Amino acid sequence: VQPPEKPLQAEEWNKLRENFQSPEIFEEVMLNSMIRCDSPIDVAKSLLTHLAKRNGDIAYNVLVKYLTLCVQQGQVSEICDVYDIMKVRFKILESGAYNLLIKGLSNSDQWRMALTLLEEVKKMMIPSRTCYESCIKAASRHQEMKLAFELYDEMLAKDVVPTLDVLQSFFDCSRGMKDAELQKELFGILLYLRENQIYPHKTFMRSIKLWFESIPGGKWRGHLTNIKNSGQCPVCNHQLEDSNLTEEEYSNLSERIIRDVIHGTDTFRKTSPQEFEAFQTFVENRLPFDIVIDGLNVSHIKPRKMQCENLFDAVNCLAKENARLLVLGRKHMLINSSNWKREIMKEMQNKADFFFAENISEDDAFLLYATLRSGKHCKFVTRDFLRDHKACLPDSLTRHLFRKWQRGHQIVLKKKSFSSVFSQQPAFRYDCVVQTTGDTWHIPYKDVFEEKYSYQVPRKWLCIQQK
Amino acid sequence: MQSANMLLRKIVRSSVLPFAAQHGMKKDLFPLSRTLSLSLCLKQDKSCEPSEKLDLDEWKKVMKTGLQEEVSETVSEPKELSSLAAARETLEMWRLAGRAVPENISEEQLKTFMECPSKSAKKKYLKYLHLKELHKKNDKRKMDEKRERKLEAQDQASKMDETKNSSFICMWSSTMNKAYNWRAAQSMIFGQPLVFDMSYEKEMSVREVANTVRQIALSESCNRRSVDPFHIHFCNFKDDSLYHTEFIKQYREAWGKLLITVTDQCYTEIFPKDKLIYLTADSPKVMKTFDHDKIYIVGSMVDKSIKTGVSLARAKRLGLETAAFPLEKYLLWSTGAKNLTLDQVMHILLTLKDTADWKKALEFVPKRKYCGFVNKPVNELKKTLDLINTFKLGKGREEVRKQFPKSYPKKYKLK
């Protein structure tokens, strides 16, 4: 339906309604299309008047729709009127109406009323993040930074995750202010990004850069750059943080992987206790390895080649400088078949240690265990992203640790066409996370549509240094 | 006149937005005052079309005047609401806002609702209740209609006053039941055992347990009706378990009279180990024929969040033989998980037992999950299917031919 352009009389509305195929929902459909077309508010009002005259009442959902229209057009006094009516009419409101009211009021001079409304919501439920977002933005727009940060802290305490928009608004609104307290809070936000491994997008990055450069007397300078593979920043020659985990993180992660990934709810699901024990003694007797290879994964790199040939190439390619290799496979690889030739397998077993798991066991879990047990220098080879193993870890902190460790220790073999040479995508040497040394900040950022997978990390950086 | 107006409007549709902007701007020139009474007269003369006398804010007046009595009522009410009442209140508002919320909700359901850990869990639970309510209403409506039709038919029949002659005795369901029960009783002495493993309660949510029990009840009924029923065993069945309460809800007093064996013992204690076969979709072994001397075990578990390898792990732990239905071999699988519901498994096993015909047995696999039965080698069929898909996508013939060797490497990792 196309909404009318001018307010209509009751009879005209009636006529329209009769022509509509299902008159019961006519008002709803009409208001929806008014919202879509951003119709003048008077038209909606005339519809409401017609409704009120006919029924002596207006249903809640119609009121909410009207409210949506008012909020969309920023009709503040109307919003207030609707709120007054709703408040008397209904004992409590539901979250949708509150969201709208807060959003509408926070954009106006009445923004303090949005705060009182937020208090009202808190009595009943945890406010949504859009509620907090509107209030925080309103407060920081009016330079009430202290209030904004109070709301922000409250939001975090309630486990409501802030949007990047809110974080950005803090930087936008504090530009040029000289206030030590405020500066500390904003550094706190940057550390929040660090702890949760969040990468700001390009516009957010720009806000951060502008804020830094605007601090009076701060003498901060920002540059956009790409970090070298060695982990050195080309602008300030600063070496970025190592991707290695700390001792504590490392032992924590290995413990979690054994407990949650390998054993999980039932050791029998991925392996069996006997097999795992056998594997453990096997690994302990031969420690440490330099590279652990997922044999089956590597053997599928080139589909046209025999699987054992693929594996053979990979082992040859990695067996340089006396590196100690461990290849994990399954027992079916030992049976002579078209894909697995016994002679080649024998030859390989001279170059590397092999462990063959049962055909129904999961070899990935063994891969993780052997690599972690070998120590920090040990890398592993697989094209698998290991998402399902990451998912077995119970909390986000450990999952982050896992990703970080994986970035630093996974080697991915890539095939080069028509030759037997593999190219390797090296493991990351530096940690891709917001970091600081006090007088420098390095902030990775992403272009909006890039790096959308959890294993990908941004390659672009913002380098900020104090002169 | 009106229709002509509409037509005109459609023609100038593209100009609606600029018009709206203009209109809005014009209105902003008259700042709306907070008090309703003042803004009323202001707008009355200015913002309306001159020919029409339309009070745009009249609805506010209506809404407010209609309220006077109610307001006085609400004031006298105690302000503090108990958490239950508050939740009920919120639900009511959600219903008014047009969300999927049930009209009536019991105390117990309300408590479950409040215990939901997250907003989305709450939403899901409410939607479930809402749909359940709708189904119930529809069923009731249909029942009523049916009853009416029946009454009408009876009226007509009495008018006709016609007596039917039949050489058969009318078999009422009670008679049928007696016959079925007789067969089931026989199966308890001579029948082939079939085990339901009731040890998965910890892996399931309350709703999944309820679904499991429902599926088992269906399996039990179709077993009872079959020509040669299994002797059903519920093993690892604990008396204080959720299974038990759900079974009592399902069967009521009939629970005590079921012709099945219920025990808290494990199947390994009752039967020789070498005769047991655990049926699980994760098994690496594929079932070739139905063996009349073996005892098949079915895990009583509904896993909506697919938990791979749970029942295989159990069989591994006890060192039992496992088997999976040869779904891949006989069906060209399209979508859906390979785990079937318990009643489907029961149907398949019963058919196998009677006929040993896989094709007939696998008719009970839901049609949406497969494209058809395999009459040629599976690889060829897959090729034709892919060909059809490629043509649908509109790729050239050459491209298709080129793609063949590429898309069929033996790159499936052995699981």
Which residue from A37, A46, A124 is facing B16, i.e. has the nearest CB? A37
What's the pLDDT band for A302 if we cut at 50, 70, 90? confident
- B 165-224 residues with CB below 8 A of A? 203
CB A26 within 8 A of CB A20: yes
Query: Total structural domains in chain A?
Result: 2
**How far apart (Å, rounded) are the C-alpha atoms in residues A70 and A72?**
5
Residue B51 has pLDDT above 50, yes or no: no
User: In which element (H, E) is residue A436 found?
Assistant: strand A435-436
Kindly determine whether residue B39 and residue A40, on different chains, have CB atoms separated by under 8 Å: no
Task: Judge whether A317 is closer than 8 Å to chain B, CB to CB.
Answer: no
Q: In terms of domains, do A184 and A289 share one?
A: no
- What is the phi-psi region of residue B122: left when phi exceeds 0, alpha when psi lies from -120 to 50, beta otherwise? alpha
Q: Do the Cβ atoms of A118 and A105 come closer than 8 Å? A: no
A12, pLDDT greater than 80: yes
Residue B60 banded pLDDT, cuts 50, 70, 90: confident
In chain A, residues with a C-beta closer than 8 Å to the C-beta of B280 are none
A217: left (phi over 0), alpha (psi -120 to 50) or beta: left
Please write the tens of the pLDDT for every residue from A139-194.
999 989 999 999 999 999 998 999 999 999 999 998 888 888 899 999 999 999 99
C-alpha–C-alpha distance, residues B324 and B321, integer Å: 11
> Cβ(A273)–Cβ(A267) under 8 Å?
yes
Q: Quick check: is A242 in a domain?
A: no
Interface residue B368 vs chain A (CB under 8 A): no
Residue pair A434/A194 in contact by the 8 Å Cβ criterion: yes
User: What is the distance of C-alpha A284 from the center of its chain?
Assistant: 37
A256 and A386: one domain? yes
How far is A319 from chain B, CA to nearest CA, in Å? 25
Distance CA A330, CA A322 (A): 25
Q: Which residues of B touch A360 (CB under 8 A)?
A: 284, 312, 415
- Given strand B276-279, what is the order of strands in its sheet? B261-262, B231-235, B193-197, B295-299, B276-279, B321-323
List for chain B the helix, strand, coil content (%; round to 5). Answer: 60, 10, 30
Are residues A9 and B409, on separate chains, in Cβ contact within 8 Å? Answer: no
pLDDT at B393: 61
Q: How many CB atoms lie within 10 A of CB B370?
A: 19
| Residues in A touching B10 (Cβ below 8 Å) | 2
A417 and chain B in contact, CB less than 8 A: no
Range of the domain at A297: 247-424
In a domain, A364, yes or no: yes
The phi and psi torsions of A430 (rounded to 5 degrees) equal: -115, 160
Q: What is the mean pLDDT of residues A57-77?
A: 90
Instruction: Determine whether the interchain pair A94/B93 forms a contact, defined as Cβ–Cβ distance below 8 Å.
Output: yes
Which residues in chain A have Cβ-Cβ distances shorter than 8 Å to B52?
Answer: 7, 9
Cα-based distances in Å from B149 to A71, A139, B138, B143, B152: 53, 67, 16, 10, 5
Mean pLDDT of chain B: 78
Q: Compute φ and ψ for B11, nearest 5 degrees.
A: -65, -40
Sort B281 into a burial class: Cβ within 10 Å, 0-12 / 13-18 / 19+: middle
Query: Does the residue A133 lie in any domain?
Result: no
Pair A380, A447 in one domain: no
Position B71 confidence tier, pLDDT thresholds 50, 70, 90: very low
Neighbours of A355 (CB within 10 A): 20
Query: Is residue A378 domain-shared with residue A255, that is, in the same domain?
Result: yes
Q: What percent of chain A has pLDDT over 70?
A: 96
A contacts of B414 (beta carbons < 8 Å): 296, 330, 332, 359
Place of tokens 């109406």: A97
In the predicted model, is pLDDT for residue B406 greater than 80?
Answer: no
Question: Which residue of chain B has the CA closest to A124?
Answer: B86
Indicate the DSSP class of residue A383: S
CATH 3.40.1280.30 location in chain B? 191-373
Q: Give the model's pLDDT for residue B292.
A: 92
Q: Are residues A379 and A282 located together in one domain of the fold?
A: yes
Length of chain B: 415
The stretches of B169-321 forming alpha helices (DSSP H) are 173-190, 206-225, 242-251, 267-270, 310-318
Residue A56 belongs to a domain: no
Q: Are A310 and A327 in contact (CB under 8 A)?
A: no
Give the mean model confidence (pLDDT) for residues A369-375.
89
Q: Measured between CB atoms, does B94 come within 8 Å of chain A?
A: yes
Is residue A358, in this structure, part of any structural domain at all? yes
Higher pLDDT, residue A323 or B342: B342
Cα separation, B12 vs B6, in Å, equals 10
- Domain contains A179: yes
Residue A150 lies in a domain: no
Question: Nearest chain B Cα to A4, which residue?
Answer: B9
Task: Note whether B237 and B264 are within 8 A (CB).
Answer: yes
pLDDT exceeds cutoff 80 at B385: no
CA distance B213 to A392: 29
Are A416 and A434 contained in the same domain?
no
Cross-strand bridge partners of residue A226: A460
Alpha-carbon dihedral sign for residues B197, B201, B206, B208: negative
A191 and A281 fall within a common domain: no
Say whether residue A89 is in contact with chain B using an 8 A CB cutoff.
yes
Kindly report, residue by residue over A425-446, the tens digit of the pLDDT.
Answer: 666 778 888 999 988 999 999 8
Residue A466 has pLDDT above 60, yes or no: yes
Sequence-distant (≥ 6) Cβ neighbours of residue A27 within 8 angstroms: A47, A51, A62
Alpha-carbon distance A16 to B351, whole Å?
A: 61
pLDDT confidence of B40, banded at 50, 70, 90?
A: very low
Residues of B with Cβ-Cβ distance to A66 under 8 angstroms: none
- Range 11-50 of A in CB contact (< 8 A) with B: 12, 15-16, 28, 37-42, 45-46, 48-49
> For testing the chain B interface, which of A57, A63, A91, A333 should be mutated: the one with the most B CBs within 10 Å?
A91
Q: What is the mean pLDDT of residues A66-72?
A: 92
**Residues A271 and A407 grouped into a single domain:** yes
Q: Which residue has the tokens 């709120």?
A: A83
pLDDT digits over B211-228, tens only?
A: 999 999 999 999 999 999
Residue A350 falls inside a structural domain? yes
**CA B144 from centroid of its chain's CA atoms:** 25
Q: Let me know whether A225 and A264 are in one domain.
A: no
- Do A353 and A399 lie in one domain? The reply is yes
Out of 1.10.240.10, 3.40.1280.30, 3.30.420.10, 2.60.120.40, select the CATH number for domain B191-373: 3.40.1280.30
The verdict on a CB contact (< 8 Å) between A359 and B59 is: no
Q: For residue B261, what are the β-bridge partners?
A: B233
Written as one string, the DSSP assignment of B275-305 is GEEEE-TT-SSB--S--TTSEEEEE----SS
Q: Name residue, tokens 């701007």.
A: B25
DSSP structure string for A301-331? SSTTS-HHHHHHHHHHHH--TT--EEEEEEG
pTM of the predicted structure, to 2 decimals: 0.76
Interface touch A303/B411, C-beta < 8 Å: yes
Q: In terms of domains, do A308 and A400 share one?
A: yes
Q: Which residues, in sequence order, are CB contacts of A190 under 8 Å at separation 6+?
A: A208, A434, A436, A441, A443
Q: Give the per-residue pLDDT at B31.
A: 44
Half-sphere exposure of B413 (CA within 13 A, CB side): 18
Per-window interface: A 150-209 vs B, CB < 8 A: none
Closest residue to A42, CB basis, from B47, B316, B317? B47
pLDDT on residue B397: 46
Query: Is B58 within 8 Å of chain A by CB?
Result: yes
Q: What's the pLDDT band for A123 if we cut at 50, 70, 90?
A: confident
Beta-sheet strands, E only, within B335-409: 370-373
Q: Which residue has the tokens 């500066």?
A: A183
pLDDT of residue B56 exceeding 80, the answer is no
CA distance A356 to chain B (A): 13
pLDDT at A336: 83
Give the integer Cα–Cα distance in Å for A121 and B271: 62
Q: Tell me: pLDDT of B205 over 80.
A: yes
The angle at the Cα of A68, spanning A63 to A69, to the nearest 5 degrees, equals 100
Q: Name the closest residue on chain B to residue A70, using Cα atoms.
A: B24
Same domain flag for A341 and A360: yes
SS3 A57: coil
pLDDT of residue A427: 66
Bin A164: left if φ > 0, else alpha if -120 < ψ < 50, else beta: alpha
Residue A420 pLDDT greater than 50, yes or no: no
Burial tier of B146 (Cβ tally within 10 Å: 0-12, 13-18, 19+)? exposed
Name the region of B319 (left: φ>0; alpha: ψ -120 to 50; beta: rest): left
Q: Which two tokens stand for residue A58?
A: 């207006």
> Is-cis flag, bond preceding A458, omega within 30?
no
Q: How far is CA A186 from CA A129, A193, A208, A217, A220, in A?
A: 20, 11, 9, 17, 15
Is residue B161 very low, low, confident or very high in pLDDT (cuts 50, 70, 90)?
Answer: low
First to last CA, chain B: 74
A360 in reach of chain B (CB within 8 A): yes
The residue written with tokens 């806002």 in the block is: B97
pLDDT at B22 over 50: no
Q: How many CA atoms lie within 13 A of B363 on its CB side?
A: 9
pLDDT at B306 over 50: yes
Region B229-241: mean pLDDT is 93
What ipTM was assigned to the predicted interfaces of this complex?
A: 0.80
- The residues in A 118-137 lying below 8 A from B, measured between CB atoms, are 124-125
Q: Please report, to the nearest 10 degrees, the dihedral formed by the alpha carbons of residues A393, A456, A461, A184 taken in order.
A: -20
Question: What's CA A318's distance to the chain center, in Å?
Answer: 34
**Residue B233 pairs with which residues in a beta bridge?**
B195, B261
